[in-house]
Amino acid sequence: KMGVAVRTGHHCTQPVMHHYHIEGTVRASLALYNNIQDIDTLVDGILKVKQITGQ
């Protein structure tokens, strides 16, 4: 919806996540072609999810 691509899941860290009782993570990767607006959009999306989930 916001034009940001992320990956969700365990990212090959299931034992660590289980130890810390973490159900899943979201990973965003930045590259040289990303700009400040891309980062601002990502942060806005993270804040929106945080507001919706209350976490």
33, HSE (Cβ side, Cα atoms, 13 Å): 0
**Residue pLDDT, tens place only, 23-40:** 888 899 999 999 999 999
**Cα 9 to Cα 41: distance, rounded to the nearest angstrom:** 21
Whether 49 is covered by a domain: the verdict is: yes
Whether 20 is covered by a domain: the verdict is: yes
Whether 32 is covered by a domain: the verdict is: yes
Whether 12 is covered by a domain: the verdict is: yes
Annotation marks residue 12 as catalytic = yes
Instruction: Quickly state the pLDDT bin for 15 (edges 50, 70, 90).
Output: very high
Whether 37 is covered by a domain: the verdict is: yes
Number of domains in the chain: 1
Whether 35 is covered by a domain: the verdict is: yes
Domain boundaries, position 16: 7-53
pLDDT of residue 26: 87
Whether 15 is covered by a domain: the verdict is: yes
pTM of this structure = 0.71
Which candidate in 2, 12, 31, 52 is catalytic?
Answer: 12
